[in-house]
Amino acid sequence: MTRRVKIKQEDNGEQDMFWKRKQQKTTMGDRGERVDDRLQHIAFIMDGNGRWARKRGMPREFGHSHGAATFKKIGRYCEKIGLKYMTVYAFSTENWKRPQKEVDTIMKIFDDYIEECFLEMEEDNVHFRFIGNLSVFPETLRAKMDKIDRETAHKPFILNIAVNYGGREEITNACNELIREGKQTVTEADISAHLYTLDCPPPDLIVRSGGEYRTSNFLLWQSAYSEYYFTDILWPDFSAKDVDNAIAAFYGRKRRYGGV
């Protein structure tokens, strides 16, 4: 009997202990313990880069560089523990209000990151996808995003990178597409099918670092029944151990989807 079948036969209280037992068996941090089918998709609001840099007397851009390194490390860990989908909030529709120097640095980080993805994609199991209103980006960057998406489309771990993303913009865009298609009335399924995340299941768990307790326009439609986990850790300090802690909290919750 496989471990997964055995878990399904346990009662709910026992199920909640599933991840805790796994944690007790090994030391904390980067253990690579695999998740089960209840947890397929984690989304991250990577907050706290600016404060992390300021605490070190450095410009905010320094925090974003370290935040990007943390993002790569956490991405590798999420893939390793058997998640199927990961979504990160890298740049919102509101983030253009930041000083131009900071915006330029974040854009340069994306561009460098995509170049790196091309170099490493052979060994990676990652399908890179960019979600958001991409029309604002220069044609060269859009072409690279599109190319890396197409060339990794056969890979099993889907990584959605939300750039110029806003939940309200996404829903509005879906409605406008439906109007263009000539719909008079729409269903929830119609809207879901026109979101940027169209072929991903909604996130089971949304993790926000940086000590703020809000959704900040992230995955508004998709998060209807997501579990949230908030931590004060600033994103550049976020580690595999913090992923484990978020997962432990998730397994301790009972998802009822409005039922009892």
Contact window for ligand FPP (CB under 6 A) among 32-40, 102-110, 134-142, 218-226: 102-110
- Residue 67 and residue 64: Cα distance in Å, rounded? 5
48 contributes a contact to ligand FPP by CB under 6 A: yes
Cβ neighbours for 102, distance < 8 A, ≥ 6 positions apart = 60, 61, 64
For position 244 contacting ligand FPP by CB under 6 A, the verdict is no
Choices 46-54, 167-175, 198-206, 225-233; region in contact with ligand FPP by CB under 6 A = 46-54
Structure tokens at 126: 């990652």
Binding span for ligand FPP by CB under 6 A among 27-35, 60-68, 168-176, 179-187? 60-68
Give a three-class secondary structure readout of 118-153: HHHCCCCCEEEEEECCHHHCCHHHHHHHHHHHHHCC
CA distance 40 to 250: 12
To ligand FPP, the closest distance from the beta carbon of 256 in angstroms equals: 32
Give CA–CA dist 208/228, Å, rounded. Answer: 8
Show the binding pattern over residues 68-97: x = contacts ligand FPP (CB under 6 A), - = does not. Answer: x--x----------------x-x----x--
E strand segments, 61-204? 85-92, 126-131, 157-165
95 is a catalytic site residue: yes
* By CB under 6 A, residue 132 contacts ligand FPP: no
Closest approach, Cβ 89 to ligand FPP, in A, equals: 7
Name beta bridge partners: 127.
158
| Pairing state between β 41-45 and 85-92 | parallel
- The residue (of 167 and 210) whose beta carbon lies closer to ligand FPP is 210
Q: Are 159 and 129 in contact (CB under 8 A)?
A: yes
Establish if 231 lies at the interface with ligand FPP (CB under 6 A). no
The reply on whether position 47 binds ligand FPP by CB under 6 A is yes
Catalytic residue among 95, 133, 173, 245: 95
Q: Is 173 a catalytic residue?
A: no
Of the candidate residues 43, 145, 161, 247, the single one contacting ligand FPP (CB under 6 A): 161
Pairing of strands 157-165, 126-131: parallel
Question: Whose structure tokens read 């030391």?
Answer: 27
Q: How far apart, in whole angstroms, are the C-alpha atoms of residue 47 and residue 125?
A: 26
- Pick the stretch among 34-42, 62-70, 124-132, 244-252 that binds ligand FPP (CB under 6 A): 62-70
Residue 64 CB, nearest distance to ligand FPP (Å)? Answer: 5
Instruction: Give residues in contact with ligand FPP (CB under 6 A).
Output: 46-51, 64, 67-68, 71, 88, 90, 95, 106, 109-110, 113, 161, 210
Show which residues are catalytic.
47, 95
